[in-house]
Chains A and B, each alone.
Chain A
Amino acid sequence: MNNDQLIYIVDDDDAVRRSVKFMLKHTGFQTREMASGDEFLKNVRRNERGCVLLDIRMPGMDGLEVQEHMNKNGIDMPIIILTGHGDIEIAVKAMRAGALNFIEKPYNKDALLRTIDEAFKHLKNNNLKEIAASEANMRLSCLTGRERDVLNGLLQGYPNKSIAFDLGISPRTVEIYRANMMEKLRVKSLAEALRIGFAAEAVETAAE
């Protein structure tokens, strides 16, 4: 299918890198593999734009630092953060820094492909990069106070349990608010919800 679409795979784990390459190659993507952030930043070409699958935990420069460098050097490519279980906090940081999405290892192939697909859409249409702040605010206005609180907690990268503790409610209740919140925002993933949240935050910050 999308024979010309290029994916950078940045992961220090040999097995993961090879398996991702194997999967994407047989799915029809072009791939370039790098074992570290340094290697990626050294070899990436501005004109060879693609989607970046970026591992968070790496020796030397970690995922967040790579992202920072990219931002600084104006390397504008959609980033999908690969995280291990329990690294949500870092993923949220990455999102805040502009990552398009994150996905937890091990992941469902279809979920990864969907995310990649989204990323390429994004790449094609640069304007799609940010959801309009106005739209974000509009969507957020549907939320109740508690739902908004839960989202704010998630935007800080807190796990459900911490949010529950801070709000003085049970984690189970947080889960319910979180599900309601995602339904009202019409998003399927936490990443999407976060993106809307970040867009609205940017407006608020600008307004201040």
Chain B
Amino acid sequence: MTIRWVIPLADSKVALDFDLRSNPPTFNAAEEAINSDNLAFSEPLESIHGGKAIAIYAPVHDPRSERFDGLIGSVLLFDPLLKAILPEGLMAEHDIVVSINGKQAYSSVGDGQSIDPDWTQSRSFMTDNLQWTIDASPKPGLLAFVHSRVLTIIFSAVFVLSALFALIVYYSLMAQKRVLEEREASHRLRVPFDDLPAIAFRVLNQPDWPFEYISEGCEALTGYPRSDFEERRVYWGNLIIPEDRQRIWDEVQQHSGSGDPFNVEYRILTSEGEIRWIQTWCEIIDIVDEDVVYIEGFLVDITKLKQAETLSIKSASLSEAIVEAAIEAVITVNADGTIETFNPAAEKMFGYDRDEIIGQNIEILVPVDQRKHVPRDPREHIETGELRRLQVGEIGYGLRKDGSIFPYELSVNEIKHPTEPMIVFLIRDVSGEVAAEKEAQENRDRLAHVERLNTLGEMASGIAHELNQPLTAISNYMATGRDLVDDLGPETKEILKEAMDEASSESIRAGDIVRRLRQFISKGEVNKQKHSLEKLIEDAATIGLVGAREKGVDWTINIARDCGTVLADNIQIQQVVVNLMRNAIDAMENQPVKHLTISAKSASKDFVEVSIADTGSGISDEIKDQLFTAFSSTKSDGMGLGLTICRTIIEDHNGKITAESGDDGGTIFCFTLMKVAEEISDE
């Protein structure tokens, strides 16, 4: 352990290479300073210069690593201090003993000797965990001389003296401490100076660039100490990487004689083999008298700058490459809505060349009827949150150059800049997806249609029967009428009229059934319109209840008045109702009570609920879960598609379909449909 710095007192000459181990009290104090990481005082010690002293140590840290770096030490010599401060007359007539923590640090009477306790005045104070005690008493000679007459005066003088001494010690200690602290702070400052990016130099104008002078920073930069350069053990020219050497020489020579400052950039290899970018600001100094040419200036390590530059070039070209290669259209627009960039995907998507579109307003890409939604100044969008609203993957429509319109998904990003804000539109053409969704919808509709045909197929005999009834009636009336024609009298005329009326109403009945059947199996476009729920259910019941009466099923249809109008494709909804009714009828086949209840009521502000309840055997929980799954029929002849299609249809209508067990056995199927306000339906 050595002392890094020593603050010498005015006339003390403390050696720098003072070995602490030669003096245990200083060594202990130094250790204490290290361990406590704080200022420490030594016990009183014998100074190598003679006389009593104490040593003070302050720890110093490396400013970068914060690691302990060394100590700053100082020695407080009592003799010169006291002599400098106290009047010599007083010193000559008094004995003074200074103790620290009970140990004698100084005594004017010599070691081990105590002063006359009867006359001693004592003063104590604490500083930095040290208990200082100053004892002062008149010397025996003085006492003998003054006797009692001036005892009081002397006593008072000793009192003053001890107090004065205590104050002096205290203040000089504090001053010492402050100096040390400041010293440490300046040490902390000194280190960064060495790391300053600028390194001053003076170099001879020779290809191997021998330095005449180079400042301290060179070691941190190159790994070689300045002495290596200045003593020509290392040449700067050899550090410059070979590719740059000739160029630097040429550049410097170009400035020869001009006297203007210039700068050059090049790379050097450090002692560790790392490459550093150096920028040199310099000026050629031609000292004619000496016939030498120097270059003077300073070097700066710009490696980090270069790296950042490379990185930003890389990242800029990377993002450019991404934008260029993107599948999505990337369009940037300035605050006025003027298109600033337009990537190849955008060219392909909208059919414009970037040269013709850049500079146009973004509006040109929006279908005419939707332009009002796009303010001329996109900032308004940002401020009103309009753009944010658009960001949520909403489908918008774009206008191509050829006038066609396509659906897209948009995301909008704002590049914040105080004066030139920019908006980036990322546009994805979703026409393929929209078409796929349309196709899937068509497939679902086709399946639903097939299922309707299938339903009717299964119901064929029931339907035939249903049609036979009115046909039989018609035939009866017509045949009777025909036979009455031969015998026309007033009475027979009336009978005939009756027959005609009856036949006509029966044929309407038959026609009605046929109409509903045709409608039911029609393949027509799915077309959601406003329909009276009541009529919808009645129409469906005509088909769904075919054959029900013969099977001994009776039913109740109960439609609440507040159901009103629903938004639905009537055929598909009828299909659902028919399907559920037929399932219910089948489920009740072996039941003693066969009652079907069809009811509809308003379920909420926006939905009506239709329920179809049977008195069948109910559904078990395990079936319930897979009820709406395809191909899981419980019927021997069922495909298991019916309920799946029902669910698809209801979900297409934004409704829900559920199955529950009824309170007294049986099953209740419920589905919801969206209500439409009546007044709108009148528009």
Contact = CB atoms under 8 A, between A and B. Distances in A.
Interface of A: 12-13, 15-16, 18-20, 22-23, 26-27, 57-60, 62, 84-87, 105-110
A107 B479 CA distance: 10
A50 B263 CA distance: 132
Given A15-B509, A22-B499, A62-B550, A106 B464 contact: no
B472 A107 contact: yes
Nearest to B478: A109
Nearest to A113: B479
Contact of A18 (B471, B502, B549): B502
Interface in B546-577: 547, 549-554
B241 interface: no
Contacts of A108: 475, 479
A87 B460 CA distance: 12
Contacts of B464: 84-86
Contact of B472 (A16, A86, A87): A16
B468 A106 contact: yes
**Max chain B C-beta neighbours (<10 A), residue from A84, A85, A109:** A84
B468 A23 contact: no
B473 A16 contact: yes
A12 B484 CA distance: 27
21 contacts: A13-B469, A13-B473, A15-B470, A15-B473, A19-B502, A23-B476, A23-B477, A23-B479, A26-B480, A26-B484, A26-B495, A57-B547, A59-B553, A60-B552, A86-B464, A105-B471, A106-B471, A106-B472, A106-B474, A109-B475, A109-B480
A20 B476 contact: yes
B549 A16 contact: no
Contact of A59 (B470, B479, B551): B551
Contacts of A15: 469-470, 473, 502, 506, 509
B64 to A, nearest CB: 101
Majority-rule SS of A interface residues: loop
B387 to A, nearest CB: 66
Contacts of B465: 57, 84-85
Nearest to A12: B549
Contacts of A59: 549-554
A202 to B, nearest CB: 31
A5 to B, nearest CB: 17
B160 to A, nearest CB: 134
Given A16-B469, A22-B477, A84-B461, 13 more contacts: A15-B502, A18-B502, A22-B476, A59-B549, A59-B554, A84-B464, A84-B465, A105-B472, A106-B468, A106-B474, A107-B472, A108-B479, A109-B483
A22 B547 CA distance: 25
Interface string B466-510: 001111111111011001100000000001001100100010010
Majority-rule SS of B interface residues: helix
B413 to A, nearest CB: 70
A110 B479 CA distance: 9
B500 to A, nearest CB: 12
Nearest to B471: A106
Nearest to B510: A15
A108 B550 CA distance: 24
A60 B483 CA distance: 36
Interface residues of B, number: 30
A105 B469 contact: yes
A182 to B, nearest CB: 25
Given A59-B552, A86-B461, A19 B495 contact: no
A19 B552 contact: no
A123 to B, nearest CB: 22
B514 to A, nearest CB: 15
A19 B647 CA distance: 43
A27 B480 contact: yes
Give the top 9 A-B pairs by smallest Cβ distance, nearest first.
A109-B479, A19-B473, A19-B476, A106-B472, A106-B475, A57-B550, A84-B465, A105-B472, A15-B473
Contacts of A107: 472, 475
A105 B468 contact: yes
A87 B462 CA distance: 11
Contacts of A12: 549-550
Given A23-B476, A27-B483, A58 B468 contact: no
A59 B552 CA distance: 4
A90 to B, nearest CB: 11
Contacts of A16: 469, 472-473, 476
Nearest to B484: A26
A16 B465 CA distance: 12
B468 A85 contact: yes
A33 B471 CA distance: 19
A141 B479 CA distance: 40
B477 A19 contact: yes
Nearest to A13: B469
B596 to A, nearest CB: 13
Contacts of A106: 468, 471-472, 474-476
Contacts of A26: 480, 483-484, 495
B519 to A, nearest CB: 22
**Max chain B C-beta neighbours (<10 A), residue from A13, A15, A16, A20:** A15
A116 B316 CA distance: 102
A58 B474 CA distance: 20
B480 A22 contact: yes
B490 to A, nearest CB: 15
Nearest to B503: A19
Nearest to B499: A22
A193 to B, nearest CB: 24
**Max chain A C-beta neighbours (<10 A), residue from B461, B471, B475, B547:** B475
A62 B550 CA distance: 8
Contacts of B498: 22
A60 B64 CA distance: 103
B15 to A, nearest CB: 129
B585 to A, nearest CB: 12
